[in-house]
Amino acid sequence: MRPVAIIGGGITGLTAAFHLKQRNIPVLLLESSSRLGGVIQSVRRGGYLAEFGPNSILETSPVISDLVRALGLESRRVYSDPSAEKRYVVRGKKPVCLPTTPVGFLTTPLFSLPAKLRVLAEPFIGRAPQGLEESIAQFVERRLGREFLDYAIDPLVAGVYAGNPRMLSVSQGFPKLYALEQRYRSLFVGQFLGARERKRSGEVSKQDARKFSFDEGLEVIIDTIRSRLDAEIQTGAPVRCLRRADDGWRVDLEEGAGRPIECGAVLLALPSHRIAALDIVNTPALDVSPLAEVSYPPVASVVLGFRRADVGHPLDGFGMLIPAREGFNILGALFSSSLFPNRAPQGEVLITSYVGGARNPLLPHLPPERLAAIALKDLETILDIRGRPTFEHVAVYHRAIPQYNLGFAKFRALMDDMEAGAPGLFVAGHARDGISLGDSILSGHKAAGKIEAFFASNDQRPRNLSHPVSA
């Protein structure tokens, strides 16, 4: 059996490659850049441990726990501090704790009395007609009211997607929320009944899932999978063209990157704009150019360290989200050193802020020192910070997070059509299956299962074969 060519060395491609190798299916992972992991990158400097991109993984499925176990990383897994479960939302320029209980909701200053009464009326609101696509803003304003949109959902969307709630599709970006209304009519009723179904399946909602990282950051999982694959990885290998053959596929690399690779199947674990740039020769022809239309707004991660004595806020939580109405430049911030141990030296703290997204797409193009100054100014006001930073790191992603905006269903349909019309070609990753790290891990696992089933249906017996990886 020819190897599976996995194009893309982020967490999705790495997960798929690892699972396929476990099943004795030969793989060759091709990454265009010089490093693996995509946006996952951890840096240890001066006693601080900063994450360039994501900061944690949500343990939403047994599949994620099984991967950690299979990699032998259970002893290095670090769960978030239970005392750091509070989430803050900024209102009136100051952080207000987001309520997590009915009593807390009734007494919180985050929402006015009319807004609370409007939310309590939610079970009596009818469902939207089937087939109607709403934005998350339209959906929430209809079911829960404008104030809940402004001070709960708008900051949540900024924190998760770096997106615009008036553009994001509720059915595509928040499918479980959409399904609750369609199935149960009420979000409150659906949340209660859905919890029993998740318990039976072993799945956990993102709201309730435990957060974890590793002792030296999320890059630990990247390094570990890389060490398990080793010879099955080729970096600096940008793919130019895929050609369908009678007995599989041929992968052509850019000039000077290596010889063509004959493979039995191909997995595209790439951002949608990277898929759109590929020349895919197939009969019938595949036009993947519309995938270039998927929006990926830029986001900058600004990580700042401070002396604990210089920060007035207790930082006793996960972090804070910031509504657009509050007028700040940062989208939100994580209290990184409260979340996980050993993220900052003794007597100091680490805060990770995010700038840009669909709310302020021009800001990430500013120089790093200017971005750090913008974040610092907002943090000084919100968290009562008085001293200068003791640590500073800025990472910019010019195409950060795919936006599942209104009309995104056509892009998912196109990826479905790609697989249906080109046997042996598969698509996985955040361009299709959800934007969180957990979603990407599940997507890689699912893709590995589909590829194994594809080979089984063609009566091919997996066996380890050598394959060309260099010119």
**Omega into 284 within 30° of 0, i.e. cis?**
yes
Helix (H, G, I), strand (E, B) or coil at 79: strand
Judged on CB neighbours under 10 Å (0-12, 13-18, 19+), 321 is buried
- Would you write out the chain's pLDDT as a tens digit for each of its 471 residues? 789 999 999 999 999 999 999 999 999 999 999 999 999 999 999 999 999 889 999 999 999 999 999 999 999 999 999 888 899 999 999 999 999 888 999 999 999 999 999 999 999 998 888 889 999 999 999 999 999 999 999 999 999 999 999 999 999 999 988 988 888 888 877 776 666 665 665 667 777 789 999 999 999 999 999 999 988 999 999 999 999 988 899 999 998 888 999 999 999 999 999 999 999 998 788 899 999 999 999 999 999 999 999 999 999 999 999 999 999 999 999 999 999 999 999 999 999 999 999 999 999 999 999 999 999 999 999 999 999 999 999 999 999 999 999 999 999 999 999 999 999 999 999 999 999 999 999 999 999 999 999 999 876 544 443 343 332
Q: What angle do CA 215, 232, 220 make, to 5 degrees?
A: 5
* 262's tokens: 């004959």
Domain residue spans of the chain? 4-39+218-294+404-457, 42-83+297-397, 102-121+133-201
Nearest Cα to Cα of residue 23 among 458, 466, 450: 450
Tokens 């500013």 identify what position?
A: 366
How many CA atoms are closer than 13 Å to the CA of 89, on its beta-carbon side?
23
* 311's tokens: 């920060």
Cα 274 from Cα 280, distance rounded (Å): 12
Structural fold of domain 4-39+218-294+404-457: FAD/NAD(P)-binding domain (3.50.50)
pLDDT given for residue 204 in this prediction:
72
DSSP string, 294-334: S----EEEEEEEEEGGGB-S---SSEEE--GGG--SEEEEE
Q: For residue 404, count other CB atoms closer than 10 A to its CB.
A: 29
For residue 384, what are the contacts with CB-CB under 8 A and spacing of at least 6? 311, 312, 313
- Superfamily of the domain at 42-83+297-397: Protoporphyrinogen oxidase, mitochondrial; domain 2 (3.90.660.20)
Cα 219 from Cα 9, distance rounded (Å): 13
Question: Sheet harboring 348-356: ordered strands across?
Answer: 94-97, 87-91, 319-321, 330-334, 348-356, 299-307, 391-397
- Superfamily of the domain at 102-121+133-201: protoporphyrinogen ix oxidase, domain 3 (1.10.3110.10)
Amino acid identity of 299? V
